[in-house]
């Protein structure tokens, strides 16, 4: 495709923050702005000054940012019907934000004008023209978001185009066609853009939502039709089903369409940016996000891994490193020996592809998975399984036995809830460490916590730094619901030492034993990694 001068426009801080569960602080927004600048985004929409104190404060503090690649944009709407442009609070807030560029949104669907604004169609055209003209008179770059354009074009194409004409004649630098409800299909996008280009001479942009799972596809279709600005958010954040995902659009443009929108070096930061912003949003990043997700280049089927070992492009559409990601291989009952050999090599263990070690380990994994274990989400447990299969491996401790007692006894009534019962959990553990039997006991907030505390007591004398390990997540899944309380259960534990996180798994019909297996794996993994 011929090279075009395409503008990347990010609206994570405004449209993206409208997603349920997201609430960026001012500090978060400043950090994200800096990160987007490092990525090479051309325009960063910071929010709506005057709409809330947080956005007003953000634009004041953003003046101190030293942006190298990006232009900060303030967002607002066309003026109110009953005020002059020089007195309109919204337009004045945009001017006071002191950004070089502003974006204003206006109606382009006749029904939105008559049913929502409750004004005449000609009056709406005057609002658009007067607002754009006023902001241009202040020396600003002005983008006009034609809200609901594609719905408006479908309902009354003549009026929808007139709104664009009004913004263009008033001096708008780019008119952005918005699929605000996210319901348009790609052929509708292409047809509407073609009609606009025949009627109006102006730079066009695209702002797509994802309600029909078409956000990225519609954005790429619009670019192919000649728009010069594409708006979206990191990870596709946004109201309802989200906005077009820039983490997919950017590599699609550069790697698939040949549009050099960012440098190779900046493209390699994409996964990092995605994860960073997900962390600030306090949301788990979906593993199946294209390009940047943890599963985007993960291989499970034995046939795929076998092909991957022979040729990296056999089951990957790009080199993951180009977007800052990496290939992963998980092991499961669907694995072949290639999965085991590949994973072992990543961990520094060489296994012959056709040797007995790999075959035996694969059979063991399949047997354990038939009993409820699952290793694709528990890499640390798989690594310990691999290490224990090596002849020279010596475990840092060995379980002799454990016992857990849970009892309920009476206590004094609580002033809070009047309860007169207290549940106490106590565990005793015997472990063999360096030839010595350690017999310890501890109470805990539940049986698993008591086991954890008792085991640590026995290990601390030999491994003092084990106190840095914390259990950060604990999940229990019932595997055979039809057996009720006698069902097989799987326990997945996530642990951290403040620097690294790892996951371990245990399975049993006894939830305490399943928890113990996952817990013991977690501590053994930590001790193995820390050994000199």
Domains recognised in the chain with CATH numbers = 7-262 (3.20.20.70), 298-388 (1.10.238), 397-462 (3.30.160)
Q: How many residues does the chain have?
A: 532
Q: Is 121 exposed, middle or buried, given 0-12, 13-18 or 19+ CB atoms closer than 10 A?
A: middle
Cβ atoms of 366 and 333 within 8 Å: the answer is yes
DSSP element (H, E) containing 446: none
Phi, psi of 173 (to 5 degrees): -75, -30
DSSP one-letter string for 104-162? EEEE-SHHHIIIII-S-HHHHHHHHHHHHHHHHHTT-EEEEEEETHHHHHHHHHHHHHH
**Range 68-78 burial, b when 16+ CB lie within 10 A, else e:** ebbbbbbbbbb
pTM: 0.74
DSSP E strands, 296-413: 298-299, 328-329, 398-410
Beta bridge partners of 362: none
**pLDDT tens, residue order, the chain (532 aa):** 445 689 999 999 999 999 999 999 999 999 999 999 999 999 999 999 988 899 999 999 999 999 999 999 999 999 999 899 999 999 999 999 999 999 999 999 999 999 999 999 999 999 999 999 999 999 999 999 999 999 999 999 999 999 999 999 999 999 999 999 999 999 999 999 999 999 988 999 999 999 999 999 999 999 999 999 999 999 999 999 999 999 999 999 999 999 999 999 999 999 999 999 998 998 888 889 999 998 787 766 656 656 665 666 677 899 999 999 887 666 655 556 667 777 777 777 777 767 677 777 777 777 887 777 877 678 888 888 888 888 888 999 998 989 999 887 655 555 555 555 677 889 999 999 988 999 999 998 888 889 999 999 999 999 999 999 998 888 888 876 656 666 788 899 999 998 888 989 999 888 899 999 999 999 999 999 887 6
């Amino acid at each position: 495709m011929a090279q075009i001068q395409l503008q990347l426009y990010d609206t994570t801080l405004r449209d993206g923050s409208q997603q349920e569960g997201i609430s960026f602080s001012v500090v978060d927004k400043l950090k994200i702005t800096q990160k987007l600048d490092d990525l090479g985004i051309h325009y960063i929409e910071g929010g709506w000054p005057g709409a809330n104190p947080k956005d007003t404060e953000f634009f004041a503090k953003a003046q101190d940012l030293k942006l190298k690649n990006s232009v900060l944009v303030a967002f607002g709407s066309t003026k109110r019907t009953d005020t002059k442009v020089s007195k309109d609070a919204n337009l004045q807030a945009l001017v006071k934000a002191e950004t070089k560029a502003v974006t204003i949104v206006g109606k382009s669907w006749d029904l939105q004008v008559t049913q929502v604004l409750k004004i005449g169609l000609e009056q709406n055209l005057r609002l658009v023209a007067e607002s754009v003209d006023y902001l241009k008179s202040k020396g600003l770059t002005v983008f006009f978001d034609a809200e609901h354009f594609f719905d408006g074009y479908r309902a009354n194409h003549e009026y929808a185009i007139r709104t664009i004409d009004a913004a263009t004649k008033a001096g708008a630098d780019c008119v952005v066609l918005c699929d605000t409800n996210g319901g348009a299909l790609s052929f509708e996008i292409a047809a509407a853009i073609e009609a606009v280009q025949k009627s109006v001479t102006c730079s066009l942009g695209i702002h797509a939502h994802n309600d029909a799972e078409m956000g990225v596809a519609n954005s790429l279709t619009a670019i192919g039709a000649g728009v010069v600005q594409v708006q979206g958010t990191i990870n596709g954040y946004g109201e309802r089903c989200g906005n077009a995902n820039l983490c997919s659009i950017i590599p699609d443009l550069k790697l698939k369409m040949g549009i050099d929108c960012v440098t190779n070096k900046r493209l390699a930061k994409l996964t990092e940016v995605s994860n960073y912003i997900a962390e600030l949003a306090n949301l788990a990043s979906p593993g199946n996000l294209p390009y940047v997700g943890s599963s985007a280049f993960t291989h499970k089927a034995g046939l795929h891994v076998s092909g991957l070992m022979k040729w990296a492009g056999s089951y990957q559409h790009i080199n993951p490193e180009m977007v800052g990601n990496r290939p992963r291989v998980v092991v499961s009952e669907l694995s072949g020996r290639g999965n085991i050999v590949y994973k072992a090599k990543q961990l520094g263990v060489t296994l012959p592809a056709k040797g007995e070690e790999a075959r035996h380990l694969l059979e063991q994994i399949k047997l354990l998975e038939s009993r409820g274990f699952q290793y694709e989400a528990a890499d640390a447990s798989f690594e310990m399984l691999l290490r224990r299969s090596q002849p020279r491996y010596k475990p840092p401790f060995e379980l002799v036995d454990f016992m857990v007692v849970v009892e309920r006894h009476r206590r004094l009534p609580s002033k809070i809830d009047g309860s007169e019962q207290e549940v106490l959990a106590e565990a005793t553990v015997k472990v063999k460490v360096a030839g010595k039997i350690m017999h310890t006991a501890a109470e805990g907030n539940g049986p698993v916590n008591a086991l954890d505390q008792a085991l640590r007591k026995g290990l601390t004398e030999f491994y003092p730094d084990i106190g840095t390990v914390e259990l950060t997540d604990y999940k229990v899944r019932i595997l055979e619901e039809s057996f009720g309380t006698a069902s097989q259960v799987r326990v997945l534990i996530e642990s951290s030492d403040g620097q690294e996180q790892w996951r371990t798994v245990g399975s049993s019909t006894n939830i305490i034993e399943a928890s113990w297996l996952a817990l013991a794996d977690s501590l053994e993994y930590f001790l193995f990694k820390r050994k000199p």
